[in-house]
């Protein structure tokens, strides 16, 4: 899949550059986009938005070429970036690092060679490398989720929490969440890693239900995990759990919020479309005089039945 | 090889040796620990949960026992399960307008899963036996192929079964007869048939002979290639069966479905006393291995004793301990 996409993207870029070669030879600039492969729901959505944006921008800006590469591990991502610099002579790099540490030195080398660098979502380990940083707000994601829990349970209550894959992202979210519920009377009675995976979270939730007599609500912290949690609650036939709060903004979950499902009363965004923001802003930076350097933080927003329609993308795979 | 000879030489009714008792003792110890740590551990609901969720890996591990006994290996089963689940969902969703929600469409889905499993197994087997490529390389290749195919089919996202269909199909995982849920029944049937095939039938002896010494088996009139091919086809079929039980649970498949199932299945087989180099296999031992693996997860979720970060460490230690227990015992006997 990743190779195919890369190939298609590469071919399109080649076709366009060949077509435009007569008109504006020296003017053509190349933007390299390097992202992790679609190995889970959120990354799938991110891949979708990256492809959509590249397709759209190629029509808007005839003077821009795009190279899109998806990597299944940090090592491959480093190779991708090196290839882009060596064989395509990119003018700008948009990178969503697989992991911060291994990607920092190669991206730093690219930046030092004079290429514009846009970093998305995860920051690099050394500051000051990127010209533009489009950041997701992980502590904010946890905080918004926590504040919603507090608003739903003013009397306090017992909740269980499913965490993602042990990473900085997960820690920042959970810390933000804990800070937001502090002193509210909401007690986290159990916490385990569901690894942002439906099957794992199903197993963990089944065991939570065996272990605890009373669970008032669940912070699944991710929509894929919420799917597993809901199935486990359903199978156990328990009615003590009032609601499940997921996160990220998967279309099925947004739909349920929109339809007024009481088990899924809200969702918190961590939009995979932030890659689109990054590519668009980079294109603007390359083609106009508008300044785009700095940090652009994409806030996590609470999706409620009232505003859910704005966050519903039926065509996206996520 | 050694073990198969010693076992064969022993009278059938002798007291079980420690190599037999090893995994059983490990399992009993786990059950005792689980019961002491949480009173809900032995509750019917928890036992059902653990057995039902073991069923996927368990059904696959039964097939893996035959492949390993015959001296082979299959790394592709997890990806294959994800691919078949995705294929099944696509076919059922596509057939929905013409067939409607009902038993025929479920049977169609099941037929697709079984057929796809057998074909996938035959492809592995053909490449390994007829073309003579290393099993590790062939199945590493198909592992990547199926994983990327399911990602491609899902367009990087998740394939979901139509909601009405899912509701109709759901009882296949969650319901059962006499209070025993279907996945447990199917798992038990697979084990019984597997055990008979392995210890009572000619096929099991041919597998052991093939894995023990290919040339000797060949000169003893065992069709080595055909035996191997059958083990891979049988494993493929069982992956199909496991998928049939998996899809109704969450009604979805994605690139993260069945990740690392191959390693869990192989670990279960080895914990159960089957020899990784081939030549000797024990289907009931595999069942113990599967139960040990899923019980560790369950116990860790039911207690707060260790940090969740250390779950992998505990699992690793117990797996190695269970195997050491057998080796020690073998050395003594």
> By C-alpha distance, which of A37, A230, A247 is closest to B256?
A37
Helices (H), chain A: 2-20, 41-60, 74-83, 100-112, 138-152, 168-181, 198-211, 223-236, 251-258, 274-287
> By C-alpha distance, which of A311, A307, A281 is closest to A296?
A281
Task: Please tell me the class of the A2-130 domain.
Answer: alpha beta
Identify the pLDDT of residue B7.
47
Rounded to a whole number of angstroms, the distance from the CA of A292 to the nearest CA of chain B is: 30
- Tell me how long chain A is: 318
On the question of a common fold for A2-130 and A138-268, the answer reads: yes
A119, containing H or E segment: strand A116-121
Beta-carbon contacts of residue A180 (< 8 Å; ≥ 6 apart):
A142, A143, A144, A145, A146, A147, A149, A150
Q: Which two tokens stand for residue A227?
A: 């799917």
- Looking at residue A67, the DSSP 8-state letter turns out to be E
- Within 10 angstroms of residue A112's Cβ, the number of other Cβ atoms is 10
Q: Where are the beta strands (DSSP E) in B176-269?
A: 176-177, 180-181, 252-254
Is beta strand A267-268 parallel, antiparallel or unpaired with respect to A294-298? unpaired
Find out whether B43 and B37 touch, Cβ atoms under 8 Å: no
A136, containing H or E segment: strand A132-136
For the four alpha carbons of B43, B44, B49 and B51, in that order, the dihedral sign comes to positive
Q: Is B53 touching A (CB cutoff 8 A)? A: yes
Identify the pLDDT of residue B138.
95
- Longest CA span, chain A: 73
Q: Which residues make beta-bridge pairs with B159? A: B253
3-state helix, strand, coil in chain B (%, to 5): 75, 5, 20
Does B53 sit within 8 Å of A44, measured CB to CB?
no
Does B254 sit within 8 Å of A41, measured CB to CB?
yes
Nearest chain A residue to B155 by CA: give it.
A317
Rounded to a whole number of angstroms, the distance from the CA of A162 to the nearest CA of chain B is: 11
Helix axes A168-181, A138-152, angle to 10 degrees: 30
Nearest chain B residue to A224 by CA: give it.
B158
Does B154 sit within 8 Å of A317, measured CB to CB?
yes
Identify the pLDDT of residue A99.
79
Q: How many whole angstroms separate alpha carbon A227 and alpha carbon B158?
A: 12
Rg (CA), chain B: 20
Helix axes B44-69, B77-99, angle to 10 degrees: 110
Q: How many whole angstroms separate alpha carbon A308 and alpha carbon B320?
A: 50
Identify the pLDDT of residue B6.
46
With contacts defined as CB-CB under 8 Å, which chain A residues touch B83?
Answer: none
Which of A2, A4, A40 to probe by mutation at the B interface, max B CB count within 10 Å?
A: A40
Q: Which residues 284-303 in chain B show a CB within 8 A of chain A?
A: 297-298, 301-302
Identify the pLDDT of residue B331.
54
Series of mean pLDDT values for 10-residue runs along chain B (333 residues): 46 63 85 88 88 93 96 95 95 90 91 96 95 93 94 83 87 86 94 94 92 88 91 96 92 87 92 88 93 89 78 82 69 51
Domain locations in chain A? 2-130, 138-268
Q: How many whole angstroms separate alpha carbon B317 and alpha carbon B306?
A: 14
Beta-carbon contacts below 8 Å between A and B? 101
- Looking at residue A316, the DSSP 8-state letter turns out to be S
CATH architecture under which domain A138-268 falls: 3-Layer(aba) Sandwich (3.40)
- First and final C-alpha spacing in chain A: 17
Q: How many whole angstroms separate alpha carbon B109 and alpha carbon B106?
A: 5
**A interface toward B at CB cutoff 8 Å?**
1-2, 4, 37-41, 43-45, 47-48, 163, 166, 190-193, 196-199, 202-204, 206-208, 210-211, 224, 227-228, 231, 235-236, 252, 316-318
Which residue bears the tokens 């039938």? B201
ipTM above 0.85, yes or no: no
> CB-CB: which of B43, B160, B256 is closest to A40?
B256
Question: What are the φ/ψ torsions at residue B54 (nearest 5 degrees)?
Answer: -75, -20
Low-confidence ranges of chain A (pLDDT < 70): 1-26
For the four alpha carbons of B149, B92, A236 and A304, in that order, the dihedral sign comes to positive
> CB-CB: which of A43, A207, A236 is closest to B156?
A43
- Within 10 angstroms of residue A92's Cβ, the number of other Cβ atoms is 23
């Amino acid at each position: 899949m990743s190779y195919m996409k890369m190939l298609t993207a590469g071919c399109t870029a080649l076709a366009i550059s060949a077509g435009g070669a007569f008109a504006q030879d020296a003017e053509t600039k190349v933007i390299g986009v390097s992202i992790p492969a679609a190995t889970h729901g959120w990354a799938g959505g991110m891949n979708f938005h990256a492809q959509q944006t590249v397709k759209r921008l190629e029509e808007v800006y005839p003077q821009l070429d795009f190279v899109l590469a998806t990597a299944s591990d940090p090592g491959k991502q480093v190779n991708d970036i090196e290839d882009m610099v060596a064989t395509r002579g990119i003018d700008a790099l948009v990178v969503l690092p697989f992991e911060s540490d291994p990607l920092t030195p190669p991206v730093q080398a690219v930046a030092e060679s004079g290429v514009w660098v846009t970093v998305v979502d995860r920051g690099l380990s050394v500051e000051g490398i990127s010209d533009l940083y489009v950041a997701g707000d992980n502590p904010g994601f946890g905080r918004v989720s926590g504040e919603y829990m507090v608003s739903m349970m003013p009397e306090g209550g017992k909740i269980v929490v499913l965490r993602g894959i042990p990473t900085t992202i997960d820690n920042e979210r959970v810390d933000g969440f804990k800070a937001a519920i502090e002193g509210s009377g909401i007690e986290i009675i159990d916490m385990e890693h569901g690894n942002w995976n439906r099957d794992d979270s199903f197993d963990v939730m089944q065991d939570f239900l065996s272990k605890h007599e009373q669970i008032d609500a669940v912070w699944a912290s991710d929509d894929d995990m919420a799917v597993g949690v809901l199935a486990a609650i359903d199978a156990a036939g328990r009615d003590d759990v009032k609601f499940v709060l997921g996160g990220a903004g998967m279309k099925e979950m947004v739909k349920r919020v929109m339809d007024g499902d009481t088990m899924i009363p809200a969702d918190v965004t961590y939009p995979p479309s932030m890659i689109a923001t990054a590519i668009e802003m980079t294109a603007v930076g390359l083609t106009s005089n508008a300044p785009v350097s700095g940090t652009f933080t994409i806030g996590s927003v609470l999706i409620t039945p009232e505003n859910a329609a704005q966050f519903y993308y039926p065509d996206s795979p996520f | 090889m050694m073990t198969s000879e010693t076992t064969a030489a022993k009278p059938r009714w002798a007291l079980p040796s420690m190599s037999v008792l090893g995994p059983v003792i490990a399992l009993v110890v786990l059950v005792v620990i689980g019961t002491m740590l949480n009173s809900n551990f032995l509750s019917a609901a928890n036992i059902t949960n653990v057995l039902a969720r073991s069923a996927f890996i368990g059904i696959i591990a039964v097939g893996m026992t035959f492949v390993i006994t015959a001296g082979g290996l299959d790394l592709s089963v997890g990806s294959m399960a994800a691919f078949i689940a995705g294929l099944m969902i696509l076919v059922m969703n596509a057939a929905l307008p013409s067939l409607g929600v009902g038993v025929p469409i479920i049977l169609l889905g099941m037929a697709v899963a079984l057929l796809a499993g057998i074909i996938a197994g035959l492809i592995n087997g053909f490449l390994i036996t007829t073309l003579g490529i290393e099993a590790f390389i062939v199945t590493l290749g198909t592992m990547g192929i199926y994983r990327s195919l399911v990602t491609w089919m899902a367009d990087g996202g998740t394939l979901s079964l139509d909601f009405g269909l899912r509701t109709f199909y759901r009882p296949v995982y969650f319901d059962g007869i006499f209070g025993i849920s279907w996945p447990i029944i199917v798992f038990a049937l697979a084990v019984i048939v597997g055990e008979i095939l392995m210890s009572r039938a000619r096929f099991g002896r041919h597998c052991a002979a093939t894995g023990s010494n290919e040339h000797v088996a060949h000169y003893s009139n065992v069709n080595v290639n055909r035996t191997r091919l059958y083990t891979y086809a049988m494993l493929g079929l069982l992956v199909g069966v496991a998928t049939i039980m998996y899809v109704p649970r969450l009604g979805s498949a994605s690139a993260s479905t069945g990740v690392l199932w191959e390693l869990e299945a192989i670990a279960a087989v080895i914990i159960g006393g089957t020899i990784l180099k081939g030549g000797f296999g024990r289907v009931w031992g595999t069942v113990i291995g599967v139960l040990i693996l899923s019980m560790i997860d369950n116990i860790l979720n039911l207690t707060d004793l260790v940090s969740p970060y250390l779950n992998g460490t505990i699992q690793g230690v117990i797996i190695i301990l269970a195997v050491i227990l057998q080796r020690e015992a073998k050395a003594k006997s």
